[in-house]
């Protein structure tokens, strides 16, 4: 465990010790590779990749498989609440898309990736159900629609979230073709998912989101968003049998993209607030409110470059790395609305 050196005062009688700042930053790497002709060439080619069509096509398949994975059973109230959040309109399916793209990078099959991709969406939906609860962020809406607890009540929302977590794990075990993914790889996938949502991952981030002060903002983003981004990318690599060095490169990529996504969300929210809109969900704990839009934009640019530098190490895989490059640019500029193409 990392040494603890920073102390932040919580809203209750607790005191939370944060890891040293160095542990909250991404490793600095030599950027020489980014300037090599071959790297410039692959980045240039990746910029022409049609992510919009690729993503929309995957969304149609993912939505169908999620619908099949959560049929209404007894007790129907729980399943209806589960389906309400997992199959909600306005969900972009970023977690499963990243997982499938990472799996395909190493030559893995979509058939091998779909069960884990769907499980990641279930886990993601469960986390959002719990995140919106009155005892957490107290959000009555999600993506412009009533939150799960607003429709089904707090008790049913808690049960729906509780049910989605284990359903995700069971779905991986029961639906992944054994001839495509060896059992040891599946065990690593399950362990990765459990780590990312547990007490040292997303749960730790949510705790500090509730109790921490402004000094905790960067740590919250790494834990709530960075580590989930790691999980999405790493699970895809594990399914395809990527080696340990490749997995660690995917981990750094996913973390950078996860935090990038959160920082850009903060920037967009701040601009909406300046125009008289926004939903105020961040409650003074956003990167932009702490550092301003200009510094947040600089941070986003830094994260985008970090993510691409990790992908430069996958140059030997050729065009199979293009979707992951394009995903970085989408996280930064949100240049299209994939929902319009997936209908």
Residue-wise over 290-328: b if at least 16 C-beta within 10 A, else e? bbebeebbebbeebbebbbbbbbbbeebeeebbbbbbbb
Question: What's the distance, Cα to Cα, between the start and end of the chain in Å?
Answer: 46
Tell me whether the omega of the peptide bond preceding residue 84 falls within 30 degrees of 0, making it cis.
no
Which residues partner with 146 through β-bridges? 141
- Per-residue confidence (pLDDT) for residue 36, from 0 to 100: 65
CB-CB contact of 122 with 106 (8 Å): no
- Per-residue confidence (pLDDT) for residue 244, from 0 to 100: 97
- Per-residue confidence (pLDDT) for residue 258, from 0 to 100: 96
**Which residues of the chain carry a pLDDT beneath 70?**
1-37, 214, 276-285, 341-343
Instruction: State if pTM tops 0.75.
Output: yes
Going from N- to C-terminal start, the domains of the chain cover: 41-276+284-333
CB-CB contact of 257 with 307 (8 Å): yes
CB-CB contact of 251 with 180 (8 Å): no
Spacing of C-alpha 207 from chain mean position: 18
- Per-residue confidence (pLDDT) for residue 121, from 0 to 100: 98
Fold of 41-276+284-333: Farnesyl Diphosphate Synthase (1.10.600)
- Per-residue confidence (pLDDT) for residue 278, from 0 to 100: 57
Distances (CA, A) of 243 to 234, 239, 330: 11, 11, 27
For residue 27, give the DSSP letter: P
């Amino acid at each position: 465990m990392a040494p603890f050196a920073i102390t932040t005062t919580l809203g209750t009688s607790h005191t939370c010790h944060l890891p040293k700042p160095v542990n909250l930053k991404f490793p600095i790497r030599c950027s020489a590779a980014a300037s090599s002709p071959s790297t410039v060439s692959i980045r240039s080619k990746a910029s022409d990749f049609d992510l919009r069509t690729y993503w929309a096509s995957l969304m149609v398949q993912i939505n169908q498989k999620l619908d099949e994975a959560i049929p209404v059973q007894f007790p129907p109230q729980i399943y209806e609440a589960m389906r309400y959040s997992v199959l909600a309109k306005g969900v972009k399916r970023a977690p499963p898309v990243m997982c499938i793209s990472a799996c395909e990078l190493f030559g893995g099959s979509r058939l091998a990736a779909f069960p884990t991709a769907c499980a990641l969406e279930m886990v993601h939906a469960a986390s959002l159900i719990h995140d919106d609860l009155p005892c957490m962020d107290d959000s009555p809406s999600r993506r412009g629609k009533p939150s799960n607890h607003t429709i089904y009540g707090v008790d049913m929302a808690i049960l729906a979230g509780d049910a989605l977590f284990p359903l995700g794990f069971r779905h991986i075990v029961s639906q992944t073709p054994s001839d495509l993914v060896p059992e040891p790889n599946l065990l690593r996938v399950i362990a990765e998912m459990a780590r990312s949502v547990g007490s040292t991952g997303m749960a730790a981030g949510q705790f500090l989101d509730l109790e921490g002060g402004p000094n905790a903002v960067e740590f919250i983003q790494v834990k709530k968003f960075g580590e989930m981004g790691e999980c999405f990318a790493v699970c895809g690599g594990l399914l395809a049998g990527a080696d340990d060095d490749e997995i660690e490169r995917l981990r750094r990529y996913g973390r950078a993209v996860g935090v990038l996504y959160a920082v850009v969300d903060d920037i967009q929210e701040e601009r909406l607030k300046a125009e008289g809109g926004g939903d105020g969900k961040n409650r003074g704990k956003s990167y932009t409110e702490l550092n301003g839009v200009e510094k947040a934009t600089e941070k986003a640019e830094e994260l985008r470059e970090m993510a691409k530098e990790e992908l430069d190490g996958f140059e030997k895989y050729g065009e199979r790395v293009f979707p992951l490059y394009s995903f970085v640019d989408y996280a930064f500029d949100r240049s299209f609305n994939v929902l319009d193409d997936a209908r």
